[in-house]
Chains A and B, each alone.
Chain A
Amino acid sequence: MTVGLNHYLVVSALLFSLGLFGVLARRNLLVIYMSLELMLNAANLALVAFSRYNANLKGQVMVFFIITVAAAEVAVGLALIVALYRKRGTAHVEDLNSLRL
């Protein structure tokens, strides 16, 4: 069976689900953050595949911007995690419960 758009979309959906599972199940802030990156990459794969099979470069330009924003987001997010670790001494989501009633 020759590979088409839906093959890429299924791979993208599975990768997105893996990332979502990581966000839900893992308890370490850094690993949760890596799972978020996995979800972003899955969306990128879907956009590039749509771009290729619709003969339209807009999807790839979008992915270019997403990669740029993701790089800035990772820098800011990791700085936040480091600041949090300095203040609270933990990078574990179950210890961050000061908003709990």
Chain B
Amino acid sequence: MPALTDLLFYAFAGFALLCGFLCVANPLSRSPVTSAMFLVLTIVSLAGLFILLHAFFLGAIQILVYAGAVMVLFLFVIMLLDLKEEERRKIRGITIGLGALSVAVIAGILIRAVAAAEPSAGGRPLVEGGTRELGHALFTLYLLPFEVMSLLLLVGMVGVILLSKKELK
């Protein structure tokens, strides 16, 4: 009888992989909206995996920032662009075949590397990623990167406003 956390891991991981596949290669629909919806489901199940890894704060901001803000931005742009015509384009078979081949090789290399390293041999799960621990690290040891990050967000905001003006010079 496997433990409940193991069952939850397999449920979340299977759901993430299924929805990730339906996001990039949905056989029924090529609409970007469908892809965006399946990406939301993938991100939510990844947040579940984060919580299984005791990264509670990251699980919360994964849902808030990714499934909330980022995906709303995506849907807003899809709505703005009106991509009806794009769906009728054909994807050539050779593209799919060569893409699948190269990706399968890379996946094989990655999984062989994980299997060869046996990373969990002797490793015991320890760290807790609650808000208190992460916040303490963030505001003591990583204060400078934290401030630089706020500057980066400001630069990003100014850049977006400049890029989305009507006249791009």
Which A residues contact B (CB, under 8 angstroms)?
A: 1-11, 13-22, 24-28, 30-31, 33-35, 37-38, 41, 44-45, 48-49, 51-58, 60-61, 63-65, 67-76, 78-83, 85-87, 91-92, 94
Query: In the complex, are the beta carbons of A76 and B123 less than 8 A apart?
Result: no
Which B residues contact A (CB, under 8 angstroms)?
A: 2-3, 5-6, 9-10, 13, 16-17, 20-21, 23-25, 30, 32, 35-36, 39, 42-43, 46, 49-50, 53-55, 57-58, 61-62, 65-66, 69-70, 73-74, 77-78, 80-81, 83, 86, 89, 91, 95-96, 98-100, 102-104, 106-107, 110-111, 114-115, 117-120, 123-127, 129, 133-134, 137-138, 142, 145, 149, 152-153, 155-157, 159-160, 163-164, 168
Query: In the complex, are the beta carbons of B23 and A38 less than 8 A apart?
Result: yes
Query: In the complex, are the beta carbons of A72 and B17 less than 8 A apart?
Result: no
* Distance of A64 Cα from B115 Cα, bound (Å): 28
Query: In the complex, are the beta carbons of B24 and A35 less than 8 A apart?
Result: yes
User: Which single member of A11, A37, A94 contacts B16 (CB below 8 Å)?
Assistant: A11
Query: In the complex, are the beta carbons of A69 and B152 less than 8 A apart?
Result: yes
* Distance of A11 Cα from B19 Cα, bound (Å): 13
Query: In the complex, are the beta carbons of B77 and A15 less than 8 A apart?
Result: no
Q: How many A-B contacts are there with CB distance less than 8 Å?
A: 243
Q: Can you report 25 A-B residue pairs in the complex whose CB atoms are below 8 A from each other?
A: A3-B5, A3-B9, A4-B123, A6-B120, A15-B16, A15-B17, A17-B106, A17-B107, A20-B103, A25-B100, A34-B35, A38-B24, A38-B42, A53-B120, A53-B125, A57-B127, A61-B134, A61-B137, A68-B65, A68-B153, A71-B70, A76-B156, A82-B77, A82-B163, A83-B163
Query: In the complex, are the beta carbons of B17 and A41 less than 8 A apart?
Result: no
- Residues of chain B within 8 A (CB-CB) of A74 are 70, 73-74
